[in-house]
Amino acid sequence: MTTKIPAQQTADTTKVNTAEATPLIPLPPTAARALAAGGSAVALVGTFLAWTWTDEFPGNLTVTGYPGGLQVLTLVGAALTLLFTLSGYGIKGLGWLTPGGTNSPVIWTALGVFGTTGYAIGAISYELGGIVNLEPGAWVSIIGALIAVIGALGLPVDQPYDHSDPNPGTWERITQPFKAPAPSRAKELPAWAEILIIAAGFGIGLYVFAYGIATEDSELFIGFLITAAFGFTAIGRAGLLKRLSALTAKHRNITLAAAFAAAICFPFTQTNDQFALIGANILIFATVALGLNIVVGLAGLLDLGYVAFLGVGAYAAALVSGSPQSSIGVQFPFWAAVLTGAAASLIFGVVIGAPTLRLRGDYLAIVTLGFGEIFRITMNNLNGNSGPDVTNGSNGIPNIPDLDFFGFNLGIAHDVLGHELTRSGNYYLLMLFFTAVVVTVFRRSAESRIGRAWVAIREDETAATAMGINGFRLKLLAFALGASLAGLAGTVQAHVSYSVTPEQYQFAGSVPPNSAFLLAAVILGGMGTISGPLVGAALLYLIPAKLQFMADYQLLLFGVALMFLMRFRPEGLVADRRKQLEFHETGQLDVPEDKPLPEGATGVAKAGA
pLDDT value at position 608? Answer: 37
522 pLDDT higher than 90 = no
Determine how β-strand 404-405 pairs with β-strand 414-416.
Answer: unpaired
pLDDT in tens, 425-463: 888 888 898 888 888 888 888 888 988 898 888 888 888
pLDDT grade, residue 90 (50/70/90)?
low
pLDDT at 39: 93
Asked if 313 and 301 count as a contact pair (C-beta separation under 8 A), the reply is no
User: For residues 185 and 500, which has the higher predicted lDDT (pLDDT)?
Assistant: 500
Asked whether residue 91 carries a pLDDT value surpassing 90, the answer given is no
Residue 335, burial from CB neighbour count under 10 angstroms (0-12, 13-18, 19+): exposed
Summarize the confidence of residues 70-83 as an average pLDDT.
Answer: 92
Nearest CA to 431 among 500, 372, 485?
485
Is the separation of the CB atoms in 148 and 36 below 8 Å? Answer: yes
506 three-class SS: coil
Secondary-structure breakdown of the chain: helix, strand, coil percentages, each rounded to the nearest 5: 60, 5, 35
Regarding predicted confidence, which is higher, 579 or 597? 579
The residue ranking higher by pLDDT, 509 or 318, is 318
CA 574/CA 454 separation, integer angstroms: 20
pLDDT for 146: 94
Judge whether residue 12 has pLDDT over 50.
Answer: no
* Residues ≥6 apart with Cβ < 8 Å to 421: 267, 268, 413, 414, 415, 429
Percent share of the chain, pLDDT over 70 = 84
* Helix boundaries (H) for 497-593: 515-525, 531-546, 554-568, 577-583
% of the chain exceeding 90 in pLDDT: 13
Q: What DSSP designation does 365 have?
A: H
Which class would CATH give 273-566? mainly alpha
Q: State mean pLDDT over 483-496.
A: 89
Number of separate helices (H) and strands (E) present in the chain: 21, 4
Tell me the pLDDT band of 21, cut-offs 50, 70 and 90. Answer: low
Q: How confident is the model at residue 581 (pLDDT cuts 50, 70, 90)?
A: low
Helix, strand or coil, per DSSP, at residue 462: helix
Phi then psi dihedrals of residue 23, to 5 deg:
-70, 150
Q: Which of 6-10, 216-220, 336-340, 542-546 has the lowest mean pLDDT?
A: 6-10
Of the two residues 560 and 339, the one the predictor is more confident about is: 339
As a whole number, the mean pLDDT across the chain is: 80
Task: Identify the three-state secondary structure at position 293.
Answer: helix
595 pLDDT more than 60: no
| pLDDT score recorded for residue 73 | 92
175 pLDDT higher than 60: no
Mean pLDDT of 319-345: 85
Residue-wise pLDDT tens digits, 121-151: 999 998 888 888 898 999 999 999 999 999 9
Q: How far apart, in Å, are the Cα atoms of 427 and each of 49, 363, 410, 495? A: 42, 39, 7, 9
pLDDT-derived band at 38, boundaries 50, 70, 90: very high
- At residue 267, the 3 state secondary structure works out as helix
Q: What is the average per-residue pLDDT within 466-474? A: 86
- What average pLDDT does this structure show over 252-258? 86
Q: What are the sequence ranges of the domains in the chain?
A: 29-165+175-180+188-248, 273-566
Of residues 170 and 194, which shows the higher confidence score? 194
What backbone phi and psi angles, to 5 degrees, belong to 9?
-110, 135
pLDDT number for residue 421: 82
Closest CA to 499 of 289, 324, 378: 324
- Give mean pLDDT, residues 189-214: 86
DSSP states along 218-256: HHHHHHHHHHHHHHHHHHHHHTHHHHHHHHHHHTHHHHH
Strands 408-409 and 419-421, by their bridges, are: unpaired
90-to-80, 87, 98 alpha-carbon distances in Å: 16, 5, 10
- Please list the alpha-helical segments (H only) found in 294-333: 307-319
Q: pLDDT at position 555, please? A: 74
Longest dimension (CA), the chain: 83
Half-sphere exposure of 444 (CA within 13 A, CB side): 7
- Say whether pLDDT at 466 is over 50: yes
Q: Is the pLDDT of residue 375 over 50?
A: yes
Between 561 and 280, the more confident residue is 280
Residue 316 has pLDDT above 60, yes or no: yes
Predicted structure pTM score: 0.79
Q: Where are the alpha helices (DSSP H) in 129-270?
A: 136-153, 170-175, 191-214, 218-238, 240-250, 252-265
Query: Does residue 76 or residue 567 have the better pLDDT?
Result: 76
* Phi, psi (degrees; rounded to nearest 5) at 249: -70, -30
525: closest CA among 579, 480, 479? 579
